[in-house]
Structure 1
């Protein structure tokens, strides 16, 4: 094969350019500290590195979720400790009077203490982390339903399937603090307030307001007259179905209706007549039982909330004691010196303490699970980072040797090319 000077020149230039490119790439790798500078350098390894980097970012999000979940559960545990302390104080008062006493002053003092503790229990039930009620669930359980208003308390032609007495009502022509008083007969409901306008197919919203305190309640003064009616009340915070306790109020009594501002109707008559009687309202759960779950790994979610109804009303797996009902029963029993009722409600509150302990054990188990998951996610992240470093980061000692070798080879190529380029036909004819 005949090798022409042009071929020799082109090959020499090609080798110089290739050597220059390899030298530049080594310099660039050392400067950047990376083996792969662009996907075209190694498409397969580039894809693997991208997948591993996504895994690290995913782990960062999981760790953030775990941190927030731990904060919520830590706060829940603190709240549960507070509930447990209140119940222990209640049991302490109950134990001193478990056999009853004819001393009115002792009973009055015990009742006064228990009513204050009831307020504390209600405060714990409505405790917040930031602007969120930790025992209230999270969903806005409102319904949007059309109905015909006629300027009175009645609403006709409405789908009552998912409605219930005590639900809050809002919409065009509906006054504030309006609730359902009764349902039926037929597709009709009555409200505790009259609509201010008439209309067909008016869009109405039913249900508690979003993020409302899960346990409504307050201490108020009212006038009893020995019947189902109580007057002289501030009814702005009251709703149908709310439990009522206090002087002359039978155990288990609830608000049956709110016929007018300042007046309520009970589902059982008061046993005394008194002006300015001390009354307690609330303890009924109006939050939601939704389980707030947080994703802490690809295949794992952890529930971070405790249901208020399960904890305080005994509707779930923790126990079956309604703490507020048991406490109201204890207060009423002490007021009437009913020894069997005192002992029964004290025993129920003792079971309620175990109910709270069960919830605390559940929360502790979730926190342990979060700790284990955090370790697993961190370990996976470290493994991914190690593989990325191995495939992506430059080995400076090795790169320095390669750079020296490439520099030497490049200089040799330049020297050889310079000598070849000086030859001519006359050199061969000598």
Structure 2
């Protein structure tokens, strides 16, 4: 059975079209660097690619959350460093105030500086980052600490927060984040715990300072009062209490540092996981540049050959097939 000219020409055109499509696909692959553009390119790779992309999305989400937490913890650490400086200066003032040769005017100058330190401490405790107060618990839209206008040293009671020199408008909640599979870490400090020495703050009831702990504002207020009075024994007691309050701040800062280190480790793990997942995705999606170039050269040669044959066949007459 003899092939007709029309059949032969149609077959050659089909071949030419196939070669042209393959060449176009290779050129697109070379331009994009991707060998998997649509599911039909490699159906077996679709599921692992989708799974890997989902994992990458989760990693990016974790990194964003952990990054925010790390920034917040770094800001908190900076402020706790400022608290340490304030308490250190207060201790220096108390040590100097114990000098029996100071005049009442000299003591007034020192007492005024202690009052300024208390105001600085309030400002530090009300630090905000991106409009959110660091030490307010979950009440992060409200400045947590305000001077108590009703404060009276004569009625001060460590067991009644209504009598304290500075009032707290936050809560005792802290933020915890998942930093690994089944592993969470506390990434914030409640102002009530840090500055007032109250580990379980009740916003709706009376609060008392935990045993063995200190209200930093109250200690600064007490220091100011005893310096003005000039009572040596009271000043020595106040100095001891200031040292205890400063140590309380140092301990909480150290705990924050340990937690920040764990968050940093979690960030490093997620970044390493991201690199591994990108490598897996690359094996499925990315084209080998040299291999694609060689394939393009071969396919262009095949296209030119098919084009040449098709051109010659189109010039044949029906007599050439008889």
Q: Which stretches of structure 1, 4 residues or more, deviate above 6 A after TM superposition?
A: 99-103, 253-256, 418-421
Aligned mates of 2:161, 2:101 — CA distance in 1: 31
**Deviation of the 1:255 alpha carbon:** 9.4
Partner of 2:24: 24
Say whether residues 1:383 and 2:276 are aligned partners: yes
Q: How does 1:127-276 map to 2 (within 5 A)?
A: 127-139=127-139, 211-217=141-147, 238=149, 243-245=151-153, 249-252=154-157
Deviations 1:396-427 (A, max 9, x none): 32122222222333444455566777486786
Paired with 2:35 and 2:99, the residues of 1 have a C-alpha distance of: 83
Q: Aligned equivalents of 1:420 and 1:102: distance in 2?
A: 117
TM-superposition CA deviations, 1:364-395 (whole Å, max 9, x none): 22332233223222222222233333332332
TM-score normalised by structure 2 residue count: 0.77
Q: Per residue, is there more helix in 1 or in 2?
A: 2
Separation of aligned partners in 2, 1:104 and 1:418: 113
> Between Structure 1 and Structure 2, which shows a larger proportion of strand residues?
1
1:320 maps to which of 188, 191, 213:
213
- 2:219 counterpart of 1:289: no
Query: Residues 295 and 423 of structure 1: is their aligned pair in 2 closer, same or farther, counting only changes over 3 Å?
Result: farther
Query: Aligned equivalents of 1:353 and 1:48: distance in 2?
Result: 55
One of 394, 403, 408 as aligned partner of 2:301: 408
Match of 1:371 in 2: 264
Between the aligned partners of 2:102 and 2:295, the Cα distance in structure 1 is: 100
Residue in structure 2 matched with residue 90 of structure 1 by the alignment: 90
1:168-204, Cα deviation, whole Å (9 max, x unpaired): xxxxxxxxxxxxxxxxxxxxxxxxxxxxxxxxxxxxx
> SS at 2:165's partner residue?
strand
Aligned-partner Cα distance in 1 for 2:220–2:285: 66
Q: Which residue of 1 aligns with 2:207?
A: none
Q: Kindly indicate whether structure 1 or structure 2 has the higher relative contact order, using CA contacts under 8 Å at least 6 residues apart.
A: 2
**Pairwise CA distance, 1:326:** 2.9
The aligned length equals 309
RMSD of aligned residue pairs (Cα, Å): 3.7
Residue 203 of structure 1 is matched in structure 2 by: none
Q: CA deviation at 1:212?
A: 2.7
Long gaps (5+) in structure 1: 140-209, 219-237, 257-266, 268-280
